[in-house]
Amino acid sequence: MMGAMSTTTSGLMTFEEFERLPDEPGKLELLEGELIRMPPPKRKHMNTAHRLFRLLDRIVEDLRRGRPELGLGDVYIEMGYRMGLDPGTWLVPDASITHIGQTGDDYYEGAPLVAIEVASDSQSAAHLEAKAEMYLSRGSREVWLIFPKTRRVWICRAGVSTIEVRDSAIRSEVLPGVEIRFEDIF
């Protein structure tokens, strides 16, 4: 592995081959048959992901009680989503919200309702863009790309230009009436 960058392995891999790989340090994902190896996340990265998870967990719980028609499922940190078998795709967003009633046994099938990726030094912009496109094409309503270093957030929605959040709060169509302040996540 070169430096702190993620690496891809040439040759397409099926999900079954991916599932048989031995455990190793870091994070493995499969993007349309391409194996992606990333180094273990750093503390600051995980702190941001955990803060988002805790905020979203409370917000979604409140919204589910008051507005069940929104179709919000559960909130997770680093949950695996299986999105296609041939070529295989299995992605692990830093945080996510499932669709209500989303199916799956060992892993959820299809993309989450909302996928949240916290950018790290090991991920290129092209890699994040490819993941966002995959989530959206497989059923996500929104993908949040969080850039802690520059304190920027990009919200990607299917069929809509990506929105850069320039002020100090995230506002999501999936979580109406909710503002997630930058100061609470960065």
Q: Domain range spanning residue 107?
A: 42-77+91-185
Q: Is residue 31 part of a domain?
A: no
Query: Which residue in 119, 172, 174, 127 sits closest to 150, CA to CA?
Result: 119
Q: What are phi and psi of 105, to 5 degrees?
A: -100, -85
Query: Which residue in 98, 103, 110, 108 sits closest to 73, CA to CA?
Result: 98
Q: Is residue 28 part of a domain?
A: no
How far apart CA 63 and CA 68 sit, in angstroms, is 7
Cis-peptide into 87, omega within 30 deg: yes
**Into how many domains does the chain fold?**
1
Q: Is residue 25 part of a domain?
A: no
Q: Domain containing 112 — which CATH number? A: 3.90.1570.10
Q: Is residue 21 part of a domain?
A: no
Per-residue pLDDT 10s for the chain (186 aa) are 333 344 444 578 888 888 888 888 778 888 888 888 888 888 898 999 999 999 999 999 999 999 999 999 999 999 999 987 667 888 999 999 999 999 988 889 999 999 999 998 777 778 888 899 999 999 999 999 998 888 889 999 988 878 888 778 999 999 999 999 999 988
pTM value is 0.87
109-156 pLDDT tens trace: 999 999 999 998 777 778 888 899 999 999 999 999 998 888 889 999
